[in-house]
Copies of this chain bind each other. A is one copy, B any other.
Amino acid sequence: MQGILKGLRVIEGSAFVAAPSCGMALAQMGADVIRFDMIGGGLDYRRWPVDENNQSMFWAGVNKGKRSIAVDFRKPEGREIITRLIAHPGDEAGIFLTNFPARGWLSDENLRKHREDLIYFNLTGDRHGSSAVDYTVNCEMGFPYTTGEDQQPINHVLPTWDVITGQMIVTGVLAAERHRRLTGEGQFVELALKDVALATLGNLGYIGEVMVNGHDRPNCGNNIYGAFGRDFMTADGERVMLSGITLGQWKTICKACEIQPQVDALAASLGLDLNREGDRYRARESLNEIVAGWFEQHDFAQAKQKLDDGGVCWGKYRSVSELISHDPDCSTDNPLFQMLEQPGIGSYLAAGHPLNFGALPREEVVSAPLLGAHTDEILTECLGMSSAEIGQLHDRKIVAGIEG
């Protein structure tokens, strides 16, 4: 790969979403990311979705572009191999990324003995080091209670906090690497999943809202809070989302849906200025009714035409299958995607990194490795081991290559 981070080498010991997706992002920008796992696979090796052979498409998804080494790191010799990889010399090596507990042989103190300027990135569940996962953090942040129409809590499906955290780890690694390049100094960088959620909550105004206004945000169903926007059903039963957050967006809706006279009458009767987003939110029930009336008289094709012609900001509700079968953005028409042969699973669309760096051509999308696919190559290249030494390690079940 010839990416913008070419040359960097990162050792990753991880499972699940956040840490692996950071490693993947780095790999998709050209870094050499070596993920180590226990022989037989780590905690996320069978994470759903899986295919009929119990091969995980999740695992294949978040490990694209990495190299894989399978090592029994319960054994001292396995730990020594990992330690040597982490502490490998070179300006651009010496970066370790993990969500494993930073203790024992993986303590910062221990690893730093082997390389003083190590960049050690450790992800934890909460700041006390307790375990927490996306789903146990999300319910604590208030979101399930404000999702949907009523007070029944509704969990999110996308592991949002994990995904955000994964991206924030990339920031941490790049900022620490910059610091080391400028000062020569390595460091231990920590991030807690729960802190990511708490900070985001604060950044978006949720904490201030309660502390200043003195009450929780009420449920508002599918409405966009504090502005105009909701889902509407067309005459033929399709559903679209409209966004009228900005005044410009709102005006395009009024024009495309030919509702300006009704909207003006409503504003007069309610004494609201519907050019203000807050007033649009206050008048949402009446506005929704007006807009819904327009959609009831248009089937999807007609509505789409008028919305597009009018420059309205809108989207269509659809399933993942519909997305794949109908949207050219989710196809190889979009340079983001390639059809990829994922060893062990089959051929399907896979995405590269969404960032487009003008100075460099786009990276090829590279599949996830089979577990242990690069064991021998890594032992040879990085640790300079001979075939005989490597053979011994296999015989003693300290390392493994591809299974079966």
Contacts and interface: CB of A to CB of B under 8 A. Distances in A.
B154 A212 contact: no
Nearest to A243: B133
A73 interface: no
A213 B313 contact: no
Interface in A222-278: 222, 224-227, 229, 231, 239-243, 245-246, 248-249, 276-278
A178 interface: yes
Contacts of A4: 175-176, 178-179
A383 B30 CA distance: 38
Contacts of A221: 155
A126 B308 CA distance: 14
A101 interface: no
A276 B46 contact: yes
Nearest to A308: B130
A294 interface: no
Interface in A75-91: none
Contacts of A58: 204-205
Report copies per complex.
Answer: 2
A109 to B, nearest CB: 12
B176 A145 contact: no
B207 A345 contact: no
A110 interface: no
Contacts of A46: 276-278
A320 B201 contact: yes
Given A133-B245, A207-B330, A179 B48 contact: no
A356 B142 contact: no
A141 interface: yes
Interface in A55-72: 56-58, 60-62, 64
Nearest to A213: B51
The 9 closest A-B pairs by CB, nearest first: A48-B226, A136-B315, A167-B167, A57-B208, A187-B359, A57-B205, A199-B351, A49-B209, A211-B348
